[in-house]
Chains A and B, each alone.
Chain A
């Protein structure tokens, strides 16, 4: 299992005989194409369709966020404030920030990855196509909820980081804050879903023989990004759930009067929030690393150094979050840790930037349109990075924090580090999307207008901030000295907007009026161009292998289109792709993907109903609305059951591979592991919260607990015993009886837990510690419930005869989940017992 050996074992895979390309295309199209018409759009699960739709929707949200920013700038153009009242203004800047971060940047990068990764890695779709679709619908519905709230004047208004207590029920009555908490969490489902499938796709669906160290750099970047999303989003989800519970049921997690702590929210938020900016930056850096070498007619300089830089960034960026909290009164030593980490993170960034510049030196840069935006990126991002280092310096931060200086900085990095690269990427990959050539001239003009507009707007905002203008104010009647600065910013911001409009117009013109482009217009050596343009849903008529790497895509297109690669066509009338092993990418089995279905739409709609009922404070009904959600999930999982009995498939003349039902480690297995990583982080966030309010929070001590030690001890003992036994029995045997036993044990543990929560646990509204304990009990209960559900599912599979000697069905998933449930249950019981004993 040595992954670093350099022998290309895949060289031994014999090619398939060539066939007629058109026949292959028809065969694949009939299996992989979307259904017709509008309904076909609802049921589509194709990564090409959904990736593009993600990006298109994100661009629409960008436009909406942009319009809001115009309102902000119009208001700030004079010191009296032009036309908005404060309430509305607060909603507008909150929505601008939230839309740009959650409804533009994150979905944009998800869409890019979903669209591009399978093409670059040489496969036909993402690992979980239905999940892709689910993610899209959750994003759309969450976004629509937030927009609707804006239309009705009840949008969130507490700033995009929603600091408590301003956002808690006492100071933010009404549903505004709930819209944010529920809407963003709803959208977050799509982030977790995307992260899971991106991870699995990169690790398990690379072209055979493409070792990790041979991946295109974009894949490394996305691997880092998705890992960060798996670990970065759960703290925010945890925080949002806690705050929503506080608002709905008065559990005082963040209320200082009852032992809660507003700073806990800030920690949880920024534990997400800082990694978030790197989550946004890494994919952008990924496309830079792909485009720069091609546009400079050379290869990337320092591949290994860049991978190391990604590795460093992924980890370091989790050690910086406190730099957003330098002014909350944290001891200087702790500030120094985070200040040091914040400047250190600039090192891997510098490594990348210099590697790119070195690449340009090595090659001969061609001034095509994407290169303009790349240059715009360099200028803008470097400046944003430098002000970032300044802000990492504690004393300076004390002055500049929460001023227009920070607004300037964050737009330099977000627009410089994300929007410019995305514009470069859009102009670079447009031919693959549309099959058309660009109309000359407009694109260059748009670039210049954007560049001038951007720097004109934001450059002097550094000075505005240093002259004392705080962010998030709507009027400044006493400060005429800020007027000329703001007026200049406002004027240029309209230039900027015109620039963006020109850019979008250019894309539209290209898509509608452009002439046909030839294949592989940039002469790139990567798989994403080794296909017809515009790219068909199935990407490759036959799949490439490592043999095809680093060759001009032109030489690869034809053989692949004629079926000389792996797994040509769709002979079995179903969506098949090759699943490889993590390290060396040796072929493992053939994955069969689900076809078009409306299930994702239905599931996300039913989650949407739950969210709306929560918003309406109809909590009992919301609970009931979870039933259809559970039913649909059951149906969903049933859809993965083996449908036919074709147990193996010939991928090349000499090689037959089992279909995934017969494989030991299926994609689903890997996905569950990734999901449990995220879930584990959520659990850790709760533990962190408990530790934080117990140790750091200065507020009132928790009152004495009222439980009866003997009864509680017995109950906890029973739960421990039950989960321990359940784990043991699913590990011990894969038989019907074991599933039955697991079902009963989990239900038993759940009943004891519920009884204990009802009779022994302290009233969660009296103190933050008790509230957190109750939440942890709820977490365990939920997991027991799911474990029981999975055991029931396995039982059902036994009944149907779907689990046999060599078909494992849901069993491995049950085993994994049960183990996770047992561990978290034991940790929870251990922590709570230790706390009780120590106090």
Chain B
């Protein structure tokens, strides 16, 4: 049971970070007046939230030891899935037009 919980940890962390950044972005755009860009402060907030989200993975990596065998190592692989997903799905905070 605990093992299953650990397996879910990495992707769940991605889900949390993704929702938070998406929610933050939605809130910022909803309160913004004009179209297009939000300005520097808002972008910094978004990038910051993304980086924090990535950083959140590091302590968890320390928590979950590497194991041999792909199946037994699933919690660790789950973390990688979560981390790659966080990097990949949220990198647009750095490059795209915000609103």
- Chain A residues near B (Cβ < 8 Å): 1-4, 6, 212-213, 302-305, 307-308, 311-312, 314-316, 318-319, 331-334, 336-337, 340-341, 344, 581-583, 695-696
Contact = CB atoms under 8 A, between A and B. Distances in A.
B15 interface: yes
Contacts of A311: 7-8, 11, 74, 77-78, 81
B79 to A, nearest CB: 11
Given A308-B77, A582-B4, A583-B4, A341 B71 contact: no
A2 B97 CA distance: 48
B29 A341 contact: no
Given A319-B89, A334-B26, 13 more contacts: A4-B3, A212-B4, A312-B11, A316-B11, A316-B85, A333-B99, A336-B95, A337-B18, A337-B25, A341-B85, A582-B4, A695-B30, A696-B27
Nearest to A344: B88
A695 B3 CA distance: 38
B98 A340 contact: no
A307 B3 CA distance: 14
B40 interface: no
B1 A331 contact: no
A304 B70 contact: yes
6 contacts: A2-B3, A3-B1, A4-B72, A213-B74, A307-B74, A334-B29
B91 interface: yes
A310 B15 CA distance: 16
A308 B26 contact: no
Contacts of A302: 70
B3 A331 contact: no
B26 A314 contact: no
Interface of B: 1-4, 7-8, 11-12, 14-15, 18, 21-22, 25-27, 29-30, 46, 67, 69-74, 77-78, 81-82, 84-85, 88-93, 95-99
A337 B81 contact: no
A3 B2 contact: yes
Contacts of B21: 337
A319 B88 CA distance: 12
Nearest to A318: B15
B1 A308 contact: no
A312 B25 contact: no
Which 6 residue pairs across A and B have the least CB separation, nearest first?
Answer: A304-B70, A336-B92, A315-B11, A213-B71, A3-B3, A331-B99
A332 B15 contact: no
Contacts of A341: 18, 85, 88-89
Given A331-B98, A334-B25, A340 B92 contact: yes
B71 A303 contact: yes
Contacts of B70: 302-305, 307-308
Please indicate which of the listed interface residues A2, A337, A695 has the most CB atoms of chain B within 10 Å of its own CB: A337
Please indicate which of the listed interface residues A307, A308, A332, A581 has the most CB atoms of chain B within 10 Å of its own CB: A308
Contact of B71 (A307, A336, A340): A307
A637 to B, nearest CB: 26
A583 B74 CA distance: 14
Given A312-B81, A331-B97, A333-B92, A4 B26 contact: no
A828 to B, nearest CB: 19
Contacts of A305: 70
A279 to B, nearest CB: 17
Main secondary structure of the interface of A (DSSP, over half): helix
A331 B25 contact: yes
B47 to A, nearest CB: 11
Given A3-B3, A305-B70, A331 B29 contact: yes
A524 B38 CA distance: 60
Contacts of A340: 88-92
A314 B77 CA distance: 14
Given A308-B78, A308-B81, A315 B96 contact: no
A319 B73 CA distance: 25
A303 B72 CA distance: 11
Nearest to B3: A3
A341 B27 CA distance: 20
Given A4-B72, A315-B14, A341-B89, A333 B97 contact: yes
A333 B90 CA distance: 9
Contacts of B8: 311
A333 B26 contact: no
Given A331-B98, A332-B96, A333-B25, A344 B89 contact: yes
A303 B73 CA distance: 12
A303 B71 CA distance: 8
Contact of A212 (B3, B30, B46): B3
A696 B30 contact: yes
Contacts of B93: 333
Contacts of A3: 1-4
Nearest to B92: A336
Please indicate which of the listed interface residues B12, B26, B46 has the most CB atoms of chain A within 10 Å of its own CB: B26
Contacts of B73: 304
A318 B46 CA distance: 21
B68 to A, nearest CB: 10
Contact of B18 (A212, A304, A319): A319
Please indicate which of the listed interface residues A3, A303, A314 has the most CB atoms of chain B within 10 Å of its own CB: A3
B14 to A, nearest CB: 7
A344 B89 CA distance: 8
A336 B78 contact: no
Please indicate which of the listed interface residues B77, B93, B95 has the most CB atoms of chain A within 10 Å of its own CB: B77
B92 A337 contact: yes
B71 A332 contact: no
Contact of B26 (A318, A319, A583, A695): A695
Contacts of B91: 340
A340 B27 CA distance: 21
Contact of A314 (B2, B11, B22, B97): B11
Contact of B1 (A312, A318, A336, A583): A583
A307 to B, nearest CB: 6
Nearest to B67: A4
Contacts of B30: 695-696
Contact of B74 (A308, A332, A334): A308
Contacts of B96: 332-333, 336
